[in-house]
Structure 1
Amino acid sequence: MTNRWPDRLPLPTIDGYGIRPGEAVLRTEMEAGPARQRRRYTQVPSRITVRWVLRREQFALFEAWYRWTAKEGGEWFEIDLKGGLGLLPQEARFTRQFEARIVAGILWEVRSELEIRERPTLSEGAMAILLEEDMQGLIGSIDALHTLIHTTLPGPHAW
């Protein structure tokens, strides 16, 4: 992927941010008894509602990037988006035209919706570990290991 969200533009704000996973399950109502359900897809795109607050010059850059690089929103691009695993790069494209309005007289509020190919989630193995182990203790151990390696131990040149 060659297109990337411009570093000169801010990431979406938390206000108005939302994730809506696509439907992966097909449900069939039965004449009698419980409905049947089956998984239709293993990779399901999700929709992300986004909002940016941009200064005038940022909005000008956004409009040009949207038109020329994102091809009016139809091209995939990489952008850092929040999810359960934190802020991670994801492949996205616009699903509808953005809406923009002036707020506070000097700022532009831009709203739209992005489609991401696949939401980053824990692996099945990582999920199993977190379900079995004390999560806070595990996180504390990881933080302690990080501190040991990056702060306490001497660098490789010291050996």
Structure 2
Amino acid sequence: MSDIYYPHDYLPLPLQSDLSFKPVSPFLRTDLTSGRARQRRLYTSVPTQVAVKWFFKKPGMAQYFEAWFRDRLTDGESWFYMKVKTPLGVELYKCRFTDIYDGPMLLAGKFWQYTATLELWQRPLIPEEWTDFPDYVVNGDIVDLAINREWPKS
């Protein structure tokens, strides 16, 4: 089966509802009889959940969203690719719904709101090799400003 993409050309990006990501723990902790505990990494690809909401300005957008969910995602069962805002910026992530969305809710007599929890295939993190350059990561905004201000236009 081919990859499924969120219809970015027709529907807006979702907003994070509570502005938090909830990653699944990547390790297993076993309490020992001595009072200490043993921890070990279970996996490196860690799914993360995020609560999102959509505001649709037109009834047709809400109609299309529900039909896309039903037909393309097989009522939310399938994984799909969608742009999501994370600390890395707006990036394309592999997602799926954890359950059916809530909505539609009519707001101010003209906007349709839907809410849902999405599961991202893995945590939104910088590539592993960037941990060797903490100065560039932590102070990346300064580097970006300097390059954009001082770089020649041509």
Distance across 2 between alignment mates of 1:139 and 1:53: 31
1:105-120 correspondence runs (5 A): 105-120=109-124
Which position in structure 2 is the counterpart of 1:6?
7
TM-score (ref. length: structure 1):
0.82
Do residues 94 (structure 1) and 97 (structure 2) align? yes
In the alignment, structure 1 segments of 5+ residues that lack a partner are 155-159
Size of the aligned set, in residue pairs, is 150
TM-score (ref. length: structure 2):
0.85
Judged with a 3 Å threshold, the aligned counterparts in structure 2 of structure 1 residues 15 and 129 are, in CA distance, closer, same or farther, namely same
- How high is the sequence identity, in percent, across the aligned residues? 29
Letter in 2 for 1:99: D
What's the RMSD between the two structures over aligned residues? 2.1
- Bigger mean CA offset, 34-43 vs 117-126: 117-126
Distance across 2 between alignment mates of 1:147 and 1:85: 22
In the alignment, structure 2 segments of 5+ residues that lack a partner are none
- Bigger fraction of residues in helix: 1
Distance across 1 between alignment mates of 2:143 and 2:48: 33
Judged with a 3 Å threshold, the aligned counterparts in structure 2 of structure 1 residues 17 and 128 are, in CA distance, closer, same or farther, namely same
- Bigger fraction of residues in strand: 2
Larger radius of gyration: 1
Judged with a 3 Å threshold, the aligned counterparts in structure 2 of structure 1 residues 12 and 95 are, in CA distance, closer, same or farther, namely same
Which position in structure 1 is the counterpart of 2:41?
39
